[in-house]
A = this chain, B = another copy of it.
Amino acid sequence: VKVGASIQQVADAANVSITTVSHALNGKGRLSPGTRERVLKVAAELQYRPHVSARNLAGGKAGVLGLAVSQAPGLSFSLTDFAYFMQLMGAATEAALERGYALVLVPVGTDGEDPFDRVSIDGAIIVDPVSRDPLVRHLRTRGLPLVTTGRVLDEDDDGYWVDNNNAAGTRAVLRHLERGGATRVALVMGPPVTSYTRDSLAVYEEWCEERGIEPRVVIPQGDLSEGAGFDAADELLASDEPPDAIYTTLDRLGTGVLRAARSRGVSVPGDLMVASYTDSDVARWSNPSLTALALHPDEVGRRAVEMLTTLVDGAEPPEPRVHVASRVIVRGSTRRHAGARVDAALAD
């Protein structure tokens, strides 16, 4: 449904030709500053909105960008946080629309087929690519512009990406735990198939090494549910030298850890500090509330689209690799001093 005025109406109202309007709007040709300004003003008054289809037809583009969520072979989605995805995709959709593109979700089946040859798109975004990702392969083979959110592992040239700065985030969390007095921090994480899990692991191991601590990592098999977090923590807490802090790469795992502590009578944060990756309502509403690393999925989505549309337009993005900062949200699960206030440490 077309709402605003057409380019012709703007041209008439401004007493210029449609070419001039087009140029003024797109900053293309050379026109006098006065004219440009006047046209812009008239366009705004008339609520001019370019007709996307017309623009795409003339420009020879499909006007469609694809977004696919990677699936580890044989497993379910590598991305498991619904809220994270909705924010990422929502922001990406909006950014795309602003640039005259429609962002569509490309369904990825379990078969090995190329899901992208069913739709005609100008470029694609792949969320959380996994190790040796088949989607990435397909796109690269086809030569379609591609941006990933999360880095592509196992590649020399990792192409264009936007990623949460998880290394910095993990460091910030560990620092926070250390400041709280933790000396034996354990890590409970999903399978290290994506860049963010790899980063967590790498930073954690490095951190342990620096302090001469023996790393303790638990990777639950099967699904990453609250129960998996419970079991992992239960195992850790039953050991001879139980950890005094646990960091999980998923909020659900974190709440599972909280439950395990409670069931064993281990007080949080007194005896055990707990923190997790990805902030959410679950973390906010748990008891005690869970300290978490707040990511910015909307920023990630927006930047990815900016990068992709730049590529589609045949230009080179100013920054081919972008790190988005995250921050530690301190809550009850790590606040050891009654007086400690809710301070949020910037993680990058």
The residues of A with any CB-CB pair to B shorter than 8 Å are 1-3, 49, 51-54, 56-57, 60-64, 69, 76-77, 79-83, 85-87, 89-91, 93-94, 96-97, 102-108, 118-122, 144, 222-223, 225-227, 230, 252, 255-256, 259, 263, 281-282, 285-286
Contacts and interface: CB of A to CB of B under 8 A. Distances in A.
A57 B255 CA distance: 52
Contacts of A2: 60, 62, 120
A343 B258 CA distance: 38
A226 B223 CA distance: 13
Contacts of A81: 82
A90 B222 CA distance: 24
Contacts of A57: 51, 53-54, 57
29 contacts: A1-B120, A2-B60, A3-B120, A51-B57, A52-B62, A53-B53, A53-B54, A53-B61, A76-B83, A77-B83, A80-B82, A81-B82, A86-B107, A89-B105, A90-B107, A90-B108, A91-B107, A93-B104, A93-B106, A97-B104, A97-B118, A102-B102, A223-B282, A225-B252, A226-B226, A226-B227, A226-B252, A227-B256, A227-B286
B281 A223 contact: yes
Interface of A is mostly: mixed
A93 B107 contact: yes
Contacts of A256: 226-227
A133 B227 CA distance: 33
A76 to B, nearest CB: 5
A102 B122 CA distance: 13
A121 B93 CA distance: 13
A62 B1 contact: yes
**Of A85, A94, A263, A286, most B-chain CB atoms within 10 Å:** A94
